[in-house]
Copies of this chain bind each other. A is one copy, B any other.
């Protein structure tokens, strides 16, 4: 179904905007590294760089563009010299009787030519028990080191795991030409390696599989990478602490800045930290689903294309829908409530949410993944908070238990402290929060909203007093909540609503909704909304509506804050912000 449309497909691919700076394939191959890796504190590509700079200053470095060019030229010279010396005295270019044991696999052999029955073993599974056995692995040429013209080391990487492969000239097994072929491989190329497992005296420091090596017998290149990669994976994977320590020792290590990473996301995603981040994200979603399914919720999909033109705000992406005005859903709010009116009892949705806001902060995106919940309640919005409480404690527990490796990989590059949370989530009323801030000398409007700064401050105070970085703040002033929020019984200045905070930042918003159509119309009017524009929404509650409430979480934000990352772009696979719609 999905692939039946060859013609319009290419229209999805952006022409100029995916790649910044835009380079045709051929150019890219030979392009100098310095253009991509920001070695300068000067913004290079305004306005994108300028905007990012503000947030990403810590990722800039101070070496000048000129110096980088010089450095690259030097490296190129060195590489050529090495190449020359390898092919020097010995005739590595002459015909080789062992030629069938290595080389580039021709395209026709990669076109599903046959099912050979060969078995590849995962690099992660290589260990001493396989000593002297013949193995076949596939992975990337992660690092290549030429020891002499007769010997080379090739570190092969497969999904974060690496193994050292040894090419050593031996009669009828490895020729000089084969060693040359190995040392000529470009980094990140895909290779098949066949060889015998050996156990070295000392553990291999440069590989994840430290107890074993592979004595190579065959080496084929499946897919070549361009020789000059725009990002070096080693640079992209470098830990913050290593960079800082080097700086203190007066040494400048390359730090790939955020925009460069995102421009070449395909390379950036290969770092252990990024492999970890998106596996953690997947697990957050899994737990969200599994917990809710076990609690009687039904997973639904509501439309993202919404009829009607945008009158109220610029924060909506508008489009033409077959001649009718339409826009992209800013949240599944309307339709998840309709699903409740449709008797599904408890529903959740995981799907994209679109916000056309001009937010250039570390925590806003124009497109993110919303985790949404809506449910019948019997009498109190605390029933919704109960779900939040149990769901998130279960989630944090599970992440800490099941994603240890991933969290470690993330922490290695971006060090962070594990999240502090209580077995039973703390609940404070908004008024209590205001009082805590007041006592700490921060005066805020008791009927206004918290700004980012006061949210952070309150987060600190709560951590000091209650020992948790995860808590619920509820009974918000009615004036700062959406019109569909149910006011408190007998106290209409406040509302049956809540926000949830992780490490001083909001990640969840929720509450009880108004389910009485006449009252909903009154509330909409009071908020300055033209009731006519939302008549269907209001009418839907006229067919008998359950008491209900719900909440929404941003998936990227949840992962960012759990791992104490400094930018939501780190937790979005291909982020979209006001300046970025590529790749």
Contacts and interface: CB of A to CB of B under 8 A. Distances in A.
Contacts of A582: 307, 536
A225 interface: yes
Interface string A538-557: 11111111110001111101
Interface stretch (A94-102, A145-153, A297-305): A297-305
A130 to B, nearest CB: 19
A227 B326 CA distance: 32
Interface string A379-416: 11110000000000000000000000000000000000
Interface string A3-19: 11111111111111111
A345 B11 contact: no
Interface stretch (A77-85, A264-272, A422-430): A264-272
Contacts of A547: 110, 190, 222-223
Contacts of A267: 342, 543
A53 B489 CA distance: 49
A6 B303 contact: no
B226 A190 contact: no
Contact of A112 (B331, B372, B379, B508): B379
A160 B8 CA distance: 43
A315 interface: yes
B354 A305 contact: yes
A519 interface: yes
B120 A378 contact: yes
A28 B331 CA distance: 27
Given A318-B320, A320-B318, A512-B111, A25 B302 contact: no
A336 B264 CA distance: 15
Contacts of A270: 342-343
A14 B308 contact: yes
B25 A112 contact: no
Interface string A197-234: 00000000000000000000000001111100100000
A437 interface: no
Interface in A298-357: 298-313, 315-322, 324, 326-331, 333-335, 338-339, 341-345, 350-356
B113 A489 contact: yes
Given A3-B509, A285-B299, A300-B278, A17 B343 contact: no
A553 B1 contact: yes
B343 A269 contact: yes
Closest 5 CB pairs of A and B: A2-B552, A269-B342, A14-B308, A14-B307, A8-B313
16 contacts: A3-B511, A6-B482, A12-B333, A12-B334, A13-B308, A14-B307, A14-B326, A22-B535, A274-B342, A282-B298, A282-B299, A302-B573, A303-B575, A322-B358, A322-B366, A536-B582
